[in-house]
Each structure stands twice: as C-alpha cells, then as structure tokens.
Amino acid sequence: MSASDLHDIEFRSVTKRYGDVTAVTDINLAVPKGAFVALLGPSGCGKTTCLRMIGGFEQPSEGDVYIGETRVNDLPAYRRPVNMVFQHYALFPHLDVENNVAYGLRQQRPRIASDEISRRVGAALEMVRLSGFGRRRIHELSGGQQQRVALARAIVNKPKVLLLDEPLAALDRKLRTDMQMELQSLQRDLGITFLLVTHDQEEALSMSDLVCVMSAGRIRQFARPQEVYDRPADLFVADFVGKTNKMTVTAEPGILRLGNGATLPFAGPERGPAVLALRPEAMRIARVGTGDGPLVGHVTHRIFLGSLAEYSVAVAGVGEFLISAERHGLDANDLIEPGEAVSIDYISEAIRLYPA
Ligand code: ATP
C-alpha cells in the first residue's frame, strides 16, 4: 500500500511567504483518509494559509501539496476535489436555499441534468436537516440554518475533502455546541476527510480525531486530542491547550526541588533545571487539618463554575497555583473561602517536565 492510499492530504516541506512575511515554515503533515482534523493555533499562526494552499487559493513558495496521489501545487482551485466553508458563509442573498445549493452544480461542464441536480440538492439538504427549507430566502433563516445551507452547498458535489475555516465562529455558544455535534455526525455519515481551522481549543478537542497545534507558522504537535492534552509536546502546547500550572524546579534523584527549598517526590529520569507543568484538575486542595498535601498555602481567589470551583492558591516562596475541584453538590460546606489556609496534593503521574 502506498502512502497515498492512507492519506488524503499531504504537505511535504511546505513554506509559504507573502513578500517578507513567512506565513508557514517547513510544514510536514499527512492527514489520514476520512479523518476529522482540527488545525488549532492562535491568530496569525498560519492555519488559514494551510487551508488555502489545499483549496488552491494560494501556492506554496517551497515544497509540495498532495491530495491523494496527485501533486496539486499547480492545479487550479476548481479542479481540486475539495470544497471550502468559510466563517462568513458567502451565500447569495437574492437566491433561495435550493438555488444557493444548486449553484455550483449548474456551473459544471459538461452540464448535469436538472432532475439529477434536484436529486442531489434534496439529498444535501436532507444531510444537513433542512428538507422543506428549499424555497426559503437566506434572510428568512437563522444563523445556524444559514451555516447549514453553506455546508449543504459544500457537500453537494461530493468533495473528497471538506475544508472548514472557523465555520462556527459567528454563532452563539448554544448554537455552536449544537452545530459541533452536527458537524461530527455529518462527517461520519459522509465518510470524507474534514479539515477544520479553529482557534478554540475546546472545539478542537471535542470534535476532531486528530489535532494539529500550530504556532508561528510551525506545527508543534499532531496527535489525538487526549494525547495533546495529557502529553503536550512542549510548553506552548501545554499553555495553549487547556490550563496549566508552570513552575521552575530542579530535578534531582527521587525529588523535585522548588523555589522555597521544599521538595516533592518525583520518580522521573530527568535531572537539572526544568519547568514543571501540571493541570489544575491533577491537583487537590483541602482545608489545612483535613488534608496533608506536601504544599501549604492560602486561597487568594475563587471562581465558582457550578459543577467545578477553581481556586488560585498562593504558596510562599513558590508561586501561585490554579486548582480545579469537582463538586458533587452533596456537601454544602465544600466551597473553600478566599483567605483560608489549604494544603495541596497532586497526582504525581500527571507531572510533565520540560527543558528550562
Ligand atoms: P487567524 O486565526 O487570525 O485567521 P491564521 O492562523 O489563519 O490566523 P493566516 O491567515 O494563515 O493565520 O496568516 C499567517 C501569517 O501570514 C500572518 O502573519 C498573516 O498576517 C500573514 N498573511 C496571511 N495572508 C497574507 C497576505 N495575503 N499577504 C500578506 N501576509 C499575509
């Protein structure tokens, strides 16, 4: 089996410059067939540039882009088996839903018979749960419905790959969550490769099979969501995906030495100065007297989140920790007040160390 049997999209050493600006540098990425992949990173890191090079709206300055086994560097956008959905759906306001979805099919040469077009438009509208909305004008639809029309238009000509550039960014939170689930089901039903650009880490973690974390034009990690969260490749990823407590430590045999001279038991092989990263939910907080964690501090701030409470805890000579405590709603006395003295424990297997 050749690599192209397994991969729908491949970047081989791709660099893209716009004049003096290098948007992406030496990108190597192989997207498995039928996967839902999220490109995640802060504004300006090069996500959209990658998508546009697949779509055919930009050409690489160096390197090659493959779709299946075809090198597509010089292939015009309209000849690529991909479609793109944008944040601003770019629907035609003067056309009804059906004609918006049919538009691309009507442009195709050789011509497609009109009953075939109707059949495909009907099927696409059914996929996005908009059957019966064909005659509606675009302005008579909600934001979520408009987004689904844009999706129907993008899948109606059966692309191999669907590119989604922040397609949910304009929707409110509730609608976003609904649409996230719908997109996942749609991808499963269609069985085609989805590549989603987002700067929202929750969206990336919850929707995709694989997350590609980017920063400053480079890929920092490409892995399953759980792997990215549990074993961030570097401190950038640890910080960008989820919340992380960071602290400078010195690793010695059996212990980590902290700023105030305190030590924590540690079984890892690392030695010397390092930065420790620990997730807030891997730490435990208890009122002094009721817990016996190795660090003692006091609560400086509390954020109540219903099922969770997040505490900032200052430990003298060491620093401030963010600790997230799950609540079960059984104990009326479970919330700790700012100012209270607490002890801190942690799950030592959750400690990650990075070069200082
Ligand atoms: P955002 O989340 O804000 O959309 P992004 O991660 O998608 O950001 P890109 O749009 O790919 O980032 O941009 C990457 C870099 O390339 C940025 O520094 C951007 O300013 C630059 N850039 C993008 N398009 C052009 C262009 N047409 N001309 C010049 N510079 C560009």
The question of ipTM being above 0.90 is answered as yes
Distance 50 CA to ligand 1 centre (A): 10
| Boundary of a domain, candidates 182, 212, 239 | 239
pLDDT at 294: 85
Decide if pLDDT at 252 tops 50.
yes
Residues 231 and 290 in one domain: no
pLDDT at 120: 94
334 or 82, which is more confident: 82
* Residue with CA closest to ligand 1 atom 2: 43
Q: Tens digits of per-residue pLDDT, 39-52? A: 999 999 999 999 99
End-to-end CA separation in angstroms for the chain: 43
Question: What's the predicted TM-score (pTM) here?
Answer: 0.90
Residues 203 and 278 in one domain: no
| Boundary of a domain, candidates 177, 211, 239 | 239
Residues 200 and 294 in one domain: no
Residues 161 and 255 in one domain: no
Among the atoms of ligand 1, which is closest to the Cα of residue 51?
A: 11
Is the shortest distance between the CB of 47 and ligand 1 below 6 Å? Answer: yes
Distance 28 CA to ligand 1 centre (A): 19
Is the shortest distance between the CB of 199 and ligand 1 below 6 Å? Answer: yes
Percent of the chain with pLDDT over 70: 97
Residues 227 and 324 in one domain: no
Query: Where residue 123 sits, what CATH number does that domain have?
Result: 3.40.50.300
Instruction: Return the number of other C-beta atoms located less than 10 Å from residue 256's C-beta.
Output: 21
Residues 335 and 232 in one domain: no
Q: Tens digits of per-residue pLDDT, 60-88? A: 999 999 999 999 999 999 899 999 988 77
Residues 28 and 169 in one domain: yes
Residues 189 and 261 in one domain: no
Is the shortest distance between the CB of 44 and ligand 1 below 6 Å? Answer: yes
39 or 330, which is more confident: 39
Tokens of 355: 């070069």
Distance 247 CA to ligand 1 centre (A): 33
Query: Where residue 259 sits, what CATH number does that domain have?
Result: 2.40.50.140
Q: How many domains does the chain have?
A: 2
User: What is the domain range of residue 38?
Assistant: 3-239
Of 3-7, 47-51, 77-81, 305-309, give the lowest mean pLDDT range: 3-7
pLDDT at 195: 97
Q: How are beta strands 352-355 and 295-304 bridged, if at all?
A: unpaired
Distance 40 CA to ligand 1 centre (A): 14
pLDDT at 4: 53
7 falls in which pLDDT band (50, 70, 90)?
Answer: confident
Distance 23 CA to ligand 1 centre (A): 6
Residues 151 and 25 in one domain: yes
| Boundary of a domain, candidates 222, 239, 256 | 239
15 falls in which pLDDT band (50, 70, 90)?
Answer: very high
Instruction: Return the number of other C-beta atoms located less than 10 Å from residue 223's C-beta.
Output: 17
Residues 210 and 192 in one domain: yes
Residues 27 and 141 in one domain: yes
Is the shortest distance between the CB of 16 and ligand 1 below 6 Å? Answer: no
Q: Average pLDDT over the chain, rounded to whole? A: 91
| Interaxial angle between packed helices 114-127 and 173-190, expressed in degrees from 0 to 180 and rounded to the nearest 10 | 130
How does DSSP assign 255-318, residue by residue? EEE-TTS-EEE---S--EEEEEEE-GGGEEEEEBTTB--SEEEEEEEEEE-SSEEEEEEEETTT
Q: Would you say 58 and 6 are in contact if contact means Cβ atoms under 8 Å apart?
A: no
pLDDT at 1: 47
Residue with tokens 């969260």: 229
250 DSSP β-pair partners: 257, 273
Contacts of 51 (CB under 8 A, 6+ apart): 39, 84, 163, 165, 195, 197
Residues 208 and 334 in one domain: no
